[in-house]
Each structure stands twice: as C-alpha cells, then as structure tokens.
Amino acid sequence: MTKAKLDTAFQTVADAGEKAFVPYIMAGDGGLSGLNERIRFLADCGATAIELGLPFSDPVADGPTIQAAGIRALEAGTTVQTVLDEVAKEKASRTVPLVIMTYLNPVFAYGVEAFASACAEAGISGLILPDLPLEEEGMVTEALKKQDIALIRLVALTSTPARIQALAERAEGFLYAVTVAGTTGERASFVDQLGTHLKALTEVSKAPVLAGFGVSTPEHVRELSQYCDGVVVGSKIVDALHQGNRQQVKDLIASRK
C-alpha cells in the first residue's frame, strides 16, 4: 500500500485534469509536536503528497532557507526516530502520501534495512536522497523494494541523454526534475530551455515528472506545470511556515489548478 498510495494520488490529480503540488517541510522545524498538524494543514490546502525533510548536519544540495530550517530542527532535538514515531501516530487516518527527503548518512547510520521497515511502519511512501546518484543506488534499492517504498530519483539539467534515459526507465513514485543548476532555494527565473527539457522528460519517464528547486511563486507553479505533471516547492513553503504566513502557503498550493 505504501508506494501505491503515491501512484494513486498522482493518478487522481491527472484524472481531474489537474497538476500535482508537493510541498516540502522540514520535520522538527517549528517543533515536532506540530508536525502532524502541519501535514494535515498542507493536505487540506490541496497538497498531492508531502515531502518531509529529515535534517542532516551537512546538506550540500540545500540552499540557505532549508539549511537554516535543518539547523532549527536539529537544535530542537529532531532525530530520524522521533520523526517516524510522530508521523506513525496518524498513519491510519492520513490520506495524503508522505515522502521522506534526507541525505544518505542518517539512513546509513540507522541501518538501511531498518530504516526502510521503520518508514513502512510509519506509512511513508517514498524516499528522496539527493546525494545518492544512479551509480550508488544499489545501496538502498533492495531494502526499499522489499518494503514497497519508492526511490524517487532526481534528474538534473546537466544529466546527459543516456543518464536521462536510465533515470526515466527506473522512475518510480515520481521523477524529480531539478530545475536549476545548483541548490534548493528561491529563484527569480529559470533557463529558457527548461520547458523543452521538462516536456522531453515526461515523454520518457515511467512515472510523473515534477519540477522542483527554486519554484517559489504562483507564476512559477503555473508556468512549469504546463510542461510536466506538477511541482515541488520547498524553500518558499518552509519560509512561509516559519514566518507563520499560512495564507501564502494556501495561495501557492491553490495555484496548481
């Protein structure tokens, strides 16, 4: 049921002729006790799925906003275990699929097999590890498959055609199309060829293609969603929640339609 939950969510959106919107939040930022409430809030706003960041001390794929959120979460004592325990509490009633985004070391330290089964227990549908390229994914694929958890792969602007092909063929959950050369964080604009790139990805990918990194305004959401199956928004959501600006989150998610 874990991975299928994600597939169903994307299918439902597509059937309605709509686009997916996956917000990212940093687990433990703003207190772990508020985590389930934040998840419910985002689901109520219309999130297709939710990406849950587990903080790591050295997040090389992240820009300043998510780095700062990670530091706040770590300072609040957030650990892999406390996050999984917290989300497990509402597993039965939760309909929105959850995907975890973290770096390899916290997973490795927990134990890959143990992590996968703890994720399954907590009702997690997918895993994103930005420091795990195609060449190294053998480290987790077996364990995730066994627990029916999707390994969500990232494809970059710099990916060669052969790599794009390989990533697209393996795609499960969704294919995460990184829209900038660089780290997460708000951007004013994107490269001109982005639309063509995204469109080409949707043609080869076995799973929905979502654009993410730098997506931060309703205009971005509408613009990029034309070319693919939807967007992932991280820094802007993290920032708005940190500022207590929930209206901004609502408006952003509403712009997906």
Annotated active-site residue 51? The verdict is: yes
Cβ 5 to another protein shortest distance, Å: 25
Which of 84, 128, 154, 252 forms a contact with another protein (CB under 8 A)?
A: 154
Of the pair 16, 162, the CB lying nearest another protein is at 162
Instruction: Give me the 80-119 binding string for another protein, x by CB under 8 A, dash otherwise.
Output: xx---------------------xxxxxxxx---------
Q: Which position has the token pair 């939710």?
A: 50
Q: Among 42-50, 78-86, 120-128, 197-205, which window interacts with another protein (CB under 8 A)?
A: 78-86
Cβ 149 to another protein shortest distance, Å: 18
Cβ 83 to another protein shortest distance, Å: 11
Of the pair 103, 174, the CB lying nearest another protein is at 103
Annotated active-site residue 62? The verdict is: yes
Cβ 49 to another protein shortest distance, Å: 21
Instruction: Give me the 35-64 binding string for another protein, x by CB under 8 A, dash otherwise.
Output: --------------------xxxxxxx-xx
Instruction: Give me the 169-198 binding string for another protein, x by CB under 8 A, dash otherwise.
Output: ---------x-xxxx---------------
- Whole-angstrom distance, CA of residue 17 vs CA of residue 220: 19
**Can you read off the two tokens belonging to residue 238?**
């993290």
- Is 79 a binding residue for another protein by CB under 8 A? The answer is yes
Q: The sheet that has 20-26: what strands, in order across it?
A: 150-151, 124-128, 98-101, 50-53, 20-26, 230-233, 209-212, 175-178, 154-155
Q: Considering only CA atoms, which of 252, 230, 102 is closest in space to residue 173?
A: 230
Burial class (CB in 10 A: 0-12, 13-18, 19+), 150: buried
Of the pair 46, 133, the CB lying nearest another protein is at 133
With CB under 8 A as the rule, give the number of residues binding another protein: 44
User: Which residues are at the interface with another protein (CB under 8 A)?
Assistant: 55-61, 63-64, 67, 74, 79-81, 103-110, 130-136, 153-160, 163, 167, 178, 180-183
Q: Write out the catalytic residue numbers.
A: 51, 62
